[in-house]
Structure formats: structure tokens, C-alpha cells
Amino acid sequence: MSDPHIDSVERRKYYRINDVVLLRYEIIPEAPAGEQPTEDTGGLEISTGSLLAELDRELNKSINAVWRDHPLVAQTLGLLNRKISVVAAQSLDYEEASVHSYDNSMVNLSGCGIAFEGRQELAPGTRLQLSIILKPSQVTLSIAGTVVSSEQRLDSAIMPYWIRVDFDDDMLAQEQLIQHVVQKQGALLSDTPTAENDR
């Protein structure tokens, strides 16, 4: 008999939303023949970095809960969280990634993958390291994945490809994505205007 909790998590992984995020990616070079690829840690440090990621996860839940009723407050908290993350990154000697290096991207997002607008065609099987800044929480996730397909789009000359990527298993990053997707989905469903609001 299957575990109902595991089944629930698996179902939540496949919830998908259209969303706007800040996104950037790098192609992971192939390891030379006979050499094992380096282990990817998803961009999280084991000690302080893991603690910060856990705090980000909890704060993300709270900010998204506030977002539905008080979007300005949620945006302010998200910006403060981003500011703290930048300061933390500097103190831990991380390479600071400027938000200006990210594309403001329309994506289709779930806990197990992402599809996004791209400038260049990427061959199926290409390995990517993706950095995603979620809105409005401003939580930054780093997760690796594999390109499934690059489909040509006829509606954009600037972003002519629709690129689909399956994420690698990364429990912490995927749980944050799942929570973001479920909370955004719930907020969108509850945001349907009532007849009274339409007057």
C-alpha cells in the first residue's frame, strides 16, 4: 500500500502555474570522458547557507500568505528579505549575483520542472544550472536540470524559443517551489472578483 503523505507530495509536484520570475541559467559543461561530473549542491552551503535557506523557506510561506490580502506589505517584506540575502551572501564570500543579470521571464513552473522563454535553442539533454528569484518573496533558488525540448515560437523575435527543463532531485529547492506554486495557485483561485466588487 502506498504512503498517502508521499502520494500527496508527488501530486503537489505536478501542480503547474504560469508565473513571472527573475531567471538566469548557465550551461553545465560536460565532464571529460572517464571523469565523474562534480557533485552539485544546489547552491546551498551545508551550515550557514542551509540555515539561511530554511529561514527563507519559512519566510516565503509567511510572505505568500500575506500577499493575498496585503500585496504592498508582502512586496516590502520580500524586498527586505532580498536585501538581507545580499548582505548574507557578501558576508559568506559568495559571488554576488546582480539582479540586473536576470531576465524578467514568463514561465510555466512546477516542483519538478520549468518551461521558459529563451533567446537560443538548447539541445535536448543539455545540462543547465538555473537561478530563480520567486516573486513577491524574492527567495532565490539554485537548481540543476536537463533540457527536454526547445520549441520555436512565432510570437516573439526576441525570445524565439520555449525551453522545457526537468529539474534534478533537490528536496529543499523543490519543496520551496512546490509551496510557491500551491500558494500562488490558491491566491489566484481566491482572487476571483465577486459580483459586489464588480459593481
Q: What does DSSP assign to residue 1? A: -
pLDDT score for 92: 54
pLDDT along the chain (199 residues), means of 10: 51 78 90 57 44 72 81 84 72 50 90 93 95 86 94 86 94 88 80 53
What pLDDT shows up at residue 107?
Answer: 96
DSSP letters, 68-137, are: TT-HHHHHHHHHHHHHHHHHHHHHTTPPP--GGGSEEEEEEE-SSEEEEEESS---TT-EEEEEEE-TTT
Q: Buried b / exposed e across 114-148, counting CB within 10 Å, b at 16+?
A: bbbbbeeebeeebbbbbbbbbbbbbbbbbbbbbbe
Please name each of the domains of the chain with its CATH number: 17-27+43-189 (2.40.10.220)
pLDDT at res. 138 = 81
Give pLDDT, residue 96.
Answer: 43
What is the reported pTM? Answer: 0.62
pLDDT for the residue numbered 68 = 78
